[in-house]
Every structure is written in structure tokens, then in C-alpha cells.
Amino acid sequence: MNTWIRQAHRWLSIVFTVTVIANFIVLGLNERPLWIVYAPLLPLFLLLFSGLYMFALPYAAQWRGRRRADART
């Protein structure tokens, strides 16, 4: 599950980067397709949640570890 989230985060970061580059390309055009302008938002949103999940992992492990140690004493 953790490696799955990490892989998803890694690939989402590539998708996000591509959509941002597409935005810079589209800046040079007279007409900017709205779907390209908003395209980075979905991967960024998913990056936020997978990133926050990974951020919380070490703290969750610490918390679980301490609780198990408490039960032993």
C-alpha cells in the first residue's frame, strides 16, 4: 500500500509537470484551451493527498510503535 502510494505520487508528479509545461506552451497562443489551463489541478490535487499520506506515515508508525510498547509494560 505504501509503495503503491509512493509510485502513484512519483508518476503524478510527472503528469503534473507535463501539464504545467503544456500551460507555458499554450501561453504563446492567442487562444488558450480551458482544459489545458485547468489540467494541472487534478494531478496537483491527487499529489496533495498522496503527499500528505506519505508525510503522516512515519508519525503513524511512531504512534503505533509507542502504543505497542505501552501494552507490554
Residues that bind ligand HEM (CB under 6 A): 6, 9-10, 13, 16-17, 44, 47-48, 51-52, 54-55
The maximal CA–CA distance of the chain, rounded, in angstroms, is 70
Q: What is the nearest approach in angstroms of ligand HEM to the Cβ of residue 64? A: 17
Q: How far is the CB of 46 from ligand HEM (least distance, A)?
A: 9
Work out how close the CB of 68 gets to ligand HEM at its nearest, in angstroms, rounded to a whole number. 22
Query: Under a CB-based contact definition with an 8 Å cutoff, are residues 26 and 37 in contact?
Result: yes
